A and B are shown apart, each in its own frame.
Chain A
Amino acid sequence: MLNNEKIEELCNISKRVRKNIIEMITEAGSGHPGGSLSCADILVALYFHVMKVDPQNPGWEDRDRFVLSKGHAAPAIYAVLAEKGFFPVDELKTLRKVDSRLQGHPDMKKTPGIDMTTGSLGQGISAAVGMALAGKLDKKDYRVYAVLGDGELQEGQVWEAAMAAAHYKLDNLTIFLDHNHLQIDGTVKEVLSPEDVGEKFKAFNWNVININGHDFYQIIDAVEKAKKIKEKPTAIIAETIKGKGVPFMENQVDWHGKAPSKEQAKEALNYLN
Chain B
Amino acid sequence: MPKIATREAYGEALTEIGEKIKEIVVLDADLSKSTKTSVFAKKFPERFFNIGIAEQNLMGIAAGLATCGKIPFASTFAVFATGRAFEQIRNSICYPKLNVKIAASHAGLTVGEDGATHQSIEDIALMRTLPNMVVINPADAVETKKAIYAAAMYNGPVYIRLGRHPVDVIFDESYEFQLGKGIVLREGKDVAIIATGVMVAEALKAHEELKKENIHAMVVNISTIKPIDKELLLKAADCKAVITVEEHTIYGGLGSAVTEVLSEEKPVLVKRIGIEDTFGESGKPEELLKKYGLTVERIVCEAKKILGIKG
Which A positions have Cβ atoms within 8 angstroms of B?
Answer: 61, 65, 67, 107-109, 115-117, 119-120, 122-135, 137-138, 156-157, 160-161, 163-164, 167-168
B268 within 8 A of A: no
User: Which B203-244 residues have C-beta < 8 A from chain A?
Assistant: none
Contacts of A161 in B (CB 8 A): 57, 60-61
For window 59-102 of chain B, which residues contact chain A by CB distance below 8 Å? 59-70, 72, 87-88, 91-92, 95-97
Interface of B is mostly: helix
Asked if residues A117 and B65 are in contact (CB atoms below 8 Å), the reply is: no
Do B65 and A134 touch across chains, with their CB atoms under 8 A apart? yes
Q: Can you list 27 A-B pairs, Cβ within 8 angstroms, ordered by A?
A: A61-B69, A65-B67, A65-B68, A115-B67, A116-B96, A120-B87, A120-B91, A126-B56, A126-B60, A126-B88, A127-B64, A127-B92, A129-B64, A130-B61, A130-B62, A131-B64, A131-B67, A133-B49, A133-B61, A134-B64, A134-B68, A157-B56, A160-B56, A160-B57, A161-B60, A164-B54, A164-B61
Contact A134-B70, Cβ < 8 Å, known A109-B97, A116-B96, A117-B96: yes
Are A168 and B52 in contact (CB-based, < 8 A)? no
Contact for A130 among B54, B64, B87, B96, CB less than 8 A = B64
**Which of B56, B59, B96 is within 8 Å of A108, CB to CB?**
B96
Q: Number of contacts between A and B (CB, 8 Å)?
A: 107
A108 surroundings in chain B (CB, below 8 A): 67, 96
Q: In the complex, what residues of A have CB within 8 A of residue B51's CB?
A: 160, 164
The answer on a CB contact under 8 Å between B52 and A164 is yes
B63 lies within 8 A of A116 (CB): yes
User: What bracket does the count of chain B residues touching chain A fall in?
Assistant: 20 to 34
Contacts of B61 in A (CB 8 A): 126-127, 129-130, 133, 161, 164
Whether B277 sits at the interface, judged by CB under 8 Å, is: no
Contacts of B46 on A, CB cut-off 8 Å?
137
Asked whether B64 lies within 8 Å of A133 as measured between CB atoms, the reply is: yes
Contacts A119-B91, A138-B68; A129 near B25 (Cβ below 8 A): no
Contact of B57 among A61, A107, A116, A129 (CB under 8 A): A129
Q: B47 near A: Cβ within 8 Å?
A: yes
State A115–B62 Cα separation when bound (angstroms).
14
Known contacts A120-B91, A126-B61; A156 and B56 CB within 8 A of each other: yes
Residues on the B chain within 8 Å of A116, using CB: 63-64, 67, 92, 96
B56's nearest neighbour on chain A, judged by CB, is A157
Structural contact, A157 and B88, CB atoms closer than 8 A: yes
Is there an interface contact between B70 and A126, defined as CB atoms closer than 8 Å?
Answer: no
Are A133 and B91 in contact, with the CB atoms below 8 A? no
The residue in chain B whose Cβ has the minimal distance to the Cβ of A135 is B68
Shortest beta-carbon distance from B28 to chain A in Å? 13
Given A157-B57, A160-B57, A161-B57: A126 and B63 interface contact (C-beta under 8 Å) = yes
Cβ–Cβ contact B63 & A163, under 8 A: no
> Shortest beta-carbon distance, A205 to chain B, in Å?
14
Instruction: Please name all residues of chain B whose beta carbon is closer than 8 Å to the beta carbon of A107 when the two chains form the complex.
Output: 95-96
Contact with A along B12-52 (1 / 0, CB 8 A): 00000000000001000000000000000000001101011
**Nearest neighbor of A144 in chain B, beta-carbon distance:** B64
Other A-B contacts than A117-B95, A123-B92, A130-B61, 15 sampled, CB-CB below 8 A, are A65-B67, A120-B87, A120-B88, A120-B92, A122-B56, A127-B61, A127-B92, A128-B64, A130-B60, A133-B49, A133-B61, A160-B54, A161-B57, A164-B52, A164-B61
Q: A133-B49, A163-B52 are in contact. Are A123 and B91 (CB under 8 A)?
A: yes
CA distance A161 to B59 in the complex (A): 11
Tell me which residues across on chain B come within 8 A of A131, comparing CB atoms: 64-65, 67-68
Contact A130/B47 with A157-B60, A164-B61 known, Cβ cut-off 8 Å: no
Q: Are A137 and B47 in contact (CB under 8 A)?
A: yes
Query: Which residues on A sit within 8 Å (CB–CB) of B47?
Result: 137
Q: Which residue of A lies closest to B60 (CB)?
A: A126
CA distance A25 to B46 in the complex (A): 46
Which residue in chain B gives the minimum CB-CB distance to A110?
B96
Contact residues in B for A164 (Cβ distance below 8 Å) = 51-52, 54, 57, 61
Nearest Cβ in chain B — how far from A272, in angstroms?
A: 33
- Whole-angstrom distance from the CB of B133 to the nearest CB of chain A? 15
By CB atoms of chain A within 10 A, which of B49, B87, B92 has the most?
B92
Q: Knowing A117-B91, A134-B69, A157-B57 touch, does A168 contact B49 (C-beta < 8 A)?
A: yes
B contact residues around A135 at 8 Å (CB): 68
CB distance from A146 to the nearest CB of B (A): 10
Which residue of chain A is the closest to B25 with respect to CB atoms? A137
Report whether A126 and B57 are in contact in the complex, using a CB–CB cutoff of 8 Å.
yes
Give A168 to B72 CA distance when docked, in angstroms: 17
Neighbouring A residues of B65 by C-beta, 8 Å = 130-131, 133-134
Chain B residues whose C-beta falls within 8 Å of the C-beta of A126 in the assembled complex: 56-57, 59-61, 63-64, 88, 92
Name the 3 nearest CB pairs between A and B, nearest first: A130-B64, A126-B60, A134-B68
